[in-house]
Copies of this chain bind each other. A is one copy, B any other.
């Protein structure tokens, strides 16, 4: 395994019985305008707010062809009982399929496309590899909530990623309305690291993908962040795309509307920020959650 030699835990969490907050120790934007497709204004917006929302970024034809690939994956994983397929707690419906950049040629191409990987490279100021990829499906009527969390808290503690130099990109394949449990983000929250309480049991990931118990931010910190930055719900048509910083606080309410929601979700990490060992539990999470293949997307 390659990656930097980590000597210090820059973002301790789950190590104290009391929650706490600390300032981010890393830049948000590592690259510059002119080095990629994003303008200076877009980079400044991302730096200030921690996300960038691009409604209707890809067209209806491309959405349709990606959805076709999703349907194919859904059917081919119907009987897949491995950990890489996550199901709704009660109904057993498939909620997520992981590691799609390794199992689907169509989605691997999409994820490495300069429209997405190029923007990630520009924000992170280096080549990028895929730390995690998945397709998500939030059913109508009985879609469950996803409580507030910073992805980085988990990727740091459980996957061993040392620095805040990674980001997520979600490509919406259905309309995002305020009714169907869309992503909610707290602007500016990416500048503050919320240190959660409690230790992480080994093999915790099996349960955490269904319902969170560890790495849960405390009420006071969340209230502080929401009072400072407010809450935004980016809504828009299928084909809309969001990039958001690894430490942006986000979550989603349940979905009792009849309208399901699906997306492609990709985590780009800088090749200069590869994990070495977990900062919490004894073992790193499995490859499908925190990839051990650091091949840059340029080499796909």
Residue numbers of A with Cβ under 8 A of B are 140-141, 145, 147-148, 177-179, 181, 184, 219, 222-223, 226-227, 231, 233, 251-259
Please tell me if the beta carbons of A181 and B141 are within 8 angstroms of each other in the complex.
Answer: no
Q: Tell me the bound Cα distance from A226 to B177 in angstroms.
A: 14
Q: Tell me the bound Cα distance from A269 to B144 in angstroms.
A: 35
Closest chain-B Cβ to A21's Cβ sits at a distance in Å of: 15
Please tell me if the beta carbons of A256 and B148 are within 8 angstroms of each other in the complex.
Answer: yes
| Extra pairs beyond A179-B184, A253-B255 (6, CB < 8 Å) | A140-B219, A145-B256, A147-B256, A177-B231, A222-B258, A253-B254
Q: A258 contacts which of B181, B219, B254, B256 (Cβ < 8 Å)?
A: B219
Closest chain-B Cβ to A215's Cβ sits at a distance in Å of: 15
Q: What residues of chain B lie closer than 8 Å to A222, measured between beta carbons?
A: 141, 258
Closest chain-B Cβ to A148's Cβ sits at a distance in Å of: 6
| Identical chains in the assembly | 2
Q: What residues of chain B lie closer than 8 Å to A255, measured between beta carbons?
A: 253
Chain B residue at smallest Cβ distance from A182: B178
Chain B residue at smallest Cβ distance from A231: B179
Please tell me if the beta carbons of A184 and B253 are within 8 angstroms of each other in the complex.
Answer: no
Please tell me if the beta carbons of B141 and A233 are within 8 angstroms of each other in the complex.
Answer: no
Please tell me if the beta carbons of A181 and B257 are within 8 angstroms of each other in the complex.
Answer: no
Closest chain-B Cβ to A261's Cβ sits at a distance in Å of: 12
Q: Tell me the bound Cα distance from A222 to B179 in angstroms.
A: 14
Chain B residue at smallest Cβ distance from A227: B258
Please tell me if the beta carbons of B258 and A251 are within 8 angstroms of each other in the complex.
Answer: no
Q: Tell me the bound Cα distance from A140 to B253 in angstroms.
A: 12
In this complex, which of A141, A177, A227, A255 has the most chain B Cβ atoms within 10 angstroms of its Cβ?
A141
